[in-house]
Structure 1
Amino acid sequence: MFTHRLVFPASVLRGRGAIKHLGAMCGRLGQRAMLVGGQRAIASVEAKVADQLEQQMVSYLGSEIFGGVCCQEEINRLADVFRTQGVEVIIATGGGKALDTAKAAGVACNIPVVTLPSIAGTCSAVTSLAFRYHQDGEFRDMMPLPCGPAAAVIDADLLATAPLQWLSAGIGDTLAKWYEYRAISDLSQLTGLAGVARTNSELCYTLIEHFAADACFAVQDGKANNALEQVLDAIFLYAGLTSIMSNGAHTGASHALYEGFTACPKTRHIAHGLLVGYGNLCLLALENRSDEELLTAIALARASAVPTQLAHIATGLTEQDLAVIIDRSLSTPDMANMPGDITFEDVRRGIERVEVLGAKIN
């Protein structure tokens, strides 16, 4: 008999000022804490993290800078650091790659991980998945983890101060939950967990449709508002639940194209969610959605600062570059989730259609 294993985060703290509960949460998990993340992420949160730990008399062992790529080599390196330093609780900050690396290293050492995202680029803070890459940044696989974060601290005040591109990335990635789930599922046959995943994925779209523009204004002002909180809930909670309920098997052409973009040196450095967001538009074209529906999706992406044309992603992309991107996307399990057979010509025509329609929106 097949057993569907759902792995949730043990605790989620969300809202403005949520970081004020970080110390108490860590204190229940261990007495020796280390902060892990990118250099900018650490700089933005370290003083508050150290203060929180001091209040709870938890020893702060300092910070460890994440190497930039969630590859097995970096996972192993961090795991060695944690063992050597006698770490009892890991505080992971930054974006999806940093959080995924820390989660995977924590699992390797059997050490609890508290995620404290400093950008809202993906739902990684709450999931038991790690997107692994090769050392050069090309996508490798999506690795399931046996446990989720011990806690996720989603602080709207902190996330409001991050650059807008990261919220845009989170919006692009979260919109994919609906676009892809709708594309790969028979919506008339959904029951149980599949129905819950469908409801969550559609709610992601609805919240972004209503609140994304005002949330972007909040980030531009550096001050959280209700719209930003709604969008953060979509990015972390509802998108995260979709991933958890489906065990990661909810992806399609949007993520396949993202993986293709990582095969090209000109585009692999672009944020995951921005590339997925562009892939969403190509997915709609592959489904032969109407021009009206595509234009609506392009307008929503444009209002959220998600790329709607190749030139928004990188300049100087050649037909040879596109061939590499498309070929790589066609070889992925995500593209195999799509109904019917998708060919190189299908994807190329879809990209061209998005380019033409995107040019119509100023």
Structure 2
Amino acid sequence: MFTHRLVFPASVLRGRGAIKHLGAMCGRLGQRALLVGGERGIASVEEQVAEQLDQQMVSYLGHDMLTGQCCEEEIKRLADRLKLQGVEVVVATGGGRALDTAKAAGVLCNIPVVTLPSVAGTCSAVTPLAFRYHSNGQFRDMYPLAYGPAAVVIDADLLATSPLHWLSAGLGDTLAKWYEYRAISDLGQLTGLSGVARTNSELCFTLIKHYAADACEAVRKGQANLALEQVLDAIFLYAGLTSIMSNGAHTGAAHALYDGFTACEKTRHIAHGLLVGFGNLCLLALENRSDEELLVALELARASAIPVHLNEISPDLSDADLSLIIDQSLRAPDMANMPTEITHRQMREAIARVQTLSLVKT
């Protein structure tokens, strides 16, 4: 009998000012803490992290600035530093690649990791997964970890001050939970965990549909509101639970197209969720959904500041670039989850249809 292994974060703190509980959380896990993340992430939280650790008499060992890629080399480099410095608890901040690098290194060293996302770009903060890349930024695989974060701290006040495109990335990635799970799941077989995962994914869609525009406005103003909190719950909690309960097997053509984008030098630097968000629209076209439904999805994407045309992703993509992206997407493991085989022509036509409809004034 197949055993489905569920790995949840040990503790989740969410809401405005949640960072004020970080020190107490770390103090229960270890007495020597290292802050890990990207340059912007570290700059946005280091003062508060150091203050929180000091209040709990936890030794702050400084920070380790990551290169920006969650690749095997960077994971090993960080793991070596954790061992060398005798780190007992890792505070990981930044976006998905930084958090995934820290989680993977923590598992290698058997050191607890507390995730403190400084951007809401993915559900990485709560999942026992690492999206690994090659050192050049091209997608490699989705790597399951033995355990998830020891604690997750989701502070709406902190996340309200991040650049808007990161929230938009989170919205795009979270919308994919619904669009993709709906496309690949068998409605007649939604029992147990698969049914719960699908319900969670639909809740993600509903919250974004109602609150995305106001949440984006909160980030533009740099001040948290109820809408932002609702959207953050969708991005981190409900989307994260969908990933956990499906063991990562909830992706389809939208993520496959993202994989393809990472094969192209002109697009691989674009945030994961922005590319997935565009991929969502192409997925709907691949499913032959009506123009009316696609126009509604385009309107939601615009309200979420998600790109709806290739020119918004990269204005100088050549036909050869697009062929490379499509060919790579068709080879991606995510594409194999689709209920029918997708051809190069179908994907190209889907992209063209989305772009044509994106120019329609509603």
TM tier relative to shorter chain:
over 0.9
Query: Which whole-Å CA distance do the structure 1 matches of 2:315 and 2:215 have between them?
Result: 28
Task: State the partner residue of 1:243.
Answer: 243
Deviations 1:78-113 (A, max 9, x none): 000100010000000000000000000000000000
**Mapped contact 1:169–1:272 kept (Cα < 8 A):** yes
Query: Which whole-Å CA distance do the structure 2 matches of 1:360 and 1:108 have between them?
Result: 51
Query: Which whole-Å CA distance do the structure 2 matches of 1:194 and 1:361 have between them?
Result: 38
Mapping 1:46-195, distance limit 5 Å: 46-195=46-195
| Structure 2 gap segments, 5+ residues each | none
Mapping 1:1-362, distance limit 5 Å: 1-361=1-361
The structural deviation recorded for 1:359 is 1.1
**AA in 2 matched with 1:88:** E
Query: Which whole-Å CA distance do the structure 2 matches of 1:135 and 1:289 have between them?
Result: 38
Query: Which whole-Å CA distance do the structure 1 matches of 2:285 and 2:3 have between them?
Result: 36
Query: Which whole-Å CA distance do the structure 1 matches of 2:31 and 2:361 have between them?
Result: 55
**Mapped contact 1:103–1:113 kept (Cα < 8 A):** yes
**CA 1:341–1:231 in structure 2 vs 1: closer, same or farther (change >3 Å)?**
same
Query: Which whole-Å CA distance do the structure 2 matches of 1:187 and 1:266 have between them?
Result: 38
TM-score w.r.t. structure 2 length?
A: 0.99
Runs (4+) of structure 1 exceeding 2 A deviation are none
Query: Which whole-Å CA distance do the structure 2 matches of 1:359 and 1:80 have between them?
Result: 51
- Identity %, equivalent residues: 77
Deviations 1:15-49 (A, max 9, x none): 00000000000000000000000011101000000
TM-score w.r.t. structure 1 length?
A: 0.99
Query: Which whole-Å CA distance do the structure 1 matches of 2:355 and 2:241 have between them?
Result: 32
**AA in 2 matched with 1:261:** F
Query: Which whole-Å CA distance do the structure 1 matches of 2:320 and 2:157 have between them?
Result: 44
Query: Which whole-Å CA distance do the structure 2 matches of 1:310 and 1:187 have between them?
Result: 33
The structural deviation recorded for 1:341 is 1.0
**AA in 1 matched with 2:227:** A
The structural deviation recorded for 1:185 is 0.4
The structural deviation recorded for 1:176 is 0.0
Please tell me the root mean square deviation across aligned C-alpha atoms, in Å.
Answer: 0.6
The structural deviation recorded for 1:333 is 1.1
- SS of match in other structure, 1:188: helix
- SS of match in other structure, 1:132: strand
| Structure 1 gap segments, 5+ residues each | none
**Mapped contact 1:299–1:361 kept (Cα < 8 A):** no
Query: Which whole-Å CA distance do the structure 1 matches of 2:50 and 2:194 have between them?
Result: 42
Query: Which whole-Å CA distance do the structure 1 matches of 2:307 and 2:59 have between them?
Result: 43
Deviations 1:296-327 (A, max 9, x none): 00000011100000001001101100000000
